Amino acid sequence: MENTPLQAAIIGAGNVAWGLAPALEKGGMVTIKRVIARSMESASALASALGHNVEASTDTRGADRDVDLVIVAATDSAVEPLARASAGSQAIWIHTSGSVDTTVLAAASPRYGVIYPMQTFTRGVATDLSDAPIFIDAASPELADLLTRIALTVSANVRPADSAARRRLHCAAVFACNFTNHLWDIADGIARRAGSSIADFMPLIDETLRKAKAIGPHAGQTGPARRGAEGVMELHRLMLSPADAEIYRLLSQSIAKAYEQD
């Protein structure tokens, strides 16, 4: 098993599958043999992109046929039903989700685990995983060791995290990545009403991130809420939609609270 790549099936052909499958293949310890998705079109697109003779299928029942490893990179809510429908599988089952318990996969096989890459994937955008943290959980120390070695072919930063820790990390990632990105989208909308766009804010965003890396986000905080500039905040809220004004109010309040001891 050490020298021959593990034969794998991946269930899912969404953002995570598109990001992870090529990286695993490139790592050399895993060969993707089959892509299973809800539609044959999605399955075929990823199968073809993997660039050799990969089977495309919509049949989740046959997911583990002739493979050593099944990688469930599907919607969170699909993981448990998929595992239950594959009871008695001889393969190793892993999922890639931040918020699904590891043990959910015990329904499929006694050999199960998680490879959770802390990265954002978008189909069609090449993603560098080489320094992204990857968190591992597994049903046994031996399997944890195997999954760690597989993950190390993708990233230099591999660490254990149980279901509870992984859920926290995922939640933190939602703040650090998803919510942050959405604030940029809101900023874009406001800026466009002044003849500008988010592109003009990139030097500011770059500097904000550079400072967060250099001195940490807590020490780097600036702006009206940090200064307690009530008049400015009131002016800003007045120009926003009710929904954006409420976000403004809540985040300003949260900033004020974070520095009230200063």
Alpha carbon 146 to its chain's center: 21
Among positions 3, 51, 218, 260, the unique one binding its own copies when judged by CB under 8 A: 218
CA neighbor of 155 nearest in space, from 185, 133, 187: 133
Least spacing, CB of residue 38 vs its own copies, in Å: 14
Least spacing, CB of residue 158 vs its own copies, in Å: 12
What would you measure as the largest C-alpha separation in the chain, in angstroms?
67
Q: Which of residues 167-206 bind its own copies (CB under 8 A)?
A: 167-188, 190-191, 193-196, 198, 200-206
Backbone angles phi, psi at 236, to 5 degrees: -65, -45
Cα–Cα distance between 220 and 217 in angstroms, integer? 5
Among positions 92, 108, 118, 151, the unique one binding its own copies when judged by CB under 8 A: 118
Among positions 7, 58, 127, 148, the unique one binding its own copies when judged by CB under 8 A: 127
Give the sheet arrangement for strand 134-138, strand by strand.
Answer: 55-57, 30-36, 6-11, 69-72, 92-95, 112-117, 134-138, 158-160
Q: Mark the segment that binds its own copies (CB under 8 A) among 37-45, 53-61, 139-147, 214-222.
A: 214-222
Q: Applying CB under 8 A, does 153 fall inside the site for its own copies?
A: no
Least spacing, CB of residue 88 vs its own copies, in Å: 26
Over the range 210-243, which residues count as b (16 or more CB within 10 Å of their CB) and which as e?
eeeeeeeeeebbeebbeeeeeeebeebbeebeee
Least spacing, CB of residue 181 vs its own copies, in Å: 5
Give the x/- contact pattern for its own copies in 73-102, rule: CB under 8 A: --xxx--------------------xx---
Q: Applying CB under 8 A, does 222 fall inside the site for its own copies?
A: yes
Among positions 39, 48, 90, 122, the unique one binding its own copies when judged by CB under 8 A: 122
Least spacing, CB of residue 249 vs its own copies, in Å: 10
**Region for 28 from its dihedrals, namely left if φ exceeds 0, alpha if ψ lies in -120 to 50, beta otherwise:** left
Is residue 52 packed enough to be buried (19+ CB in 10 Å), middle (13-18) or exposed (0-12)? exposed
Instruction: Report in angstroms the alpha-carbon separations of 49 from 6, 39, 217.
Output: 19, 16, 39
Please give the structure tokens belonging to residue 209: 């991130």
Please give the structure tokens belonging to residue 138: 């597994």
Among positions 115, 121, 147, 150, the unique one binding its own copies when judged by CB under 8 A: 121
Q: Which of residues 22-51 bind its own copies (CB under 8 A)?
A: none
Cα–Cα distance between 107 and 98 in angstroms, integer? 19
Nearer to its own copies, 106 or 187 (CB): 187
Nearer to its own copies, 4 or 130 (CB): 130
Q: Mark the segment that binds its own copies (CB under 8 A) among 1-9, 53-61, 131-139, 145-153.
A: 131-139
Q: Applying CB under 8 A, does 212 fall inside the site for its own copies?
A: yes
Q: How many residues bind its own copies (CB under 8 A)?
A: 97
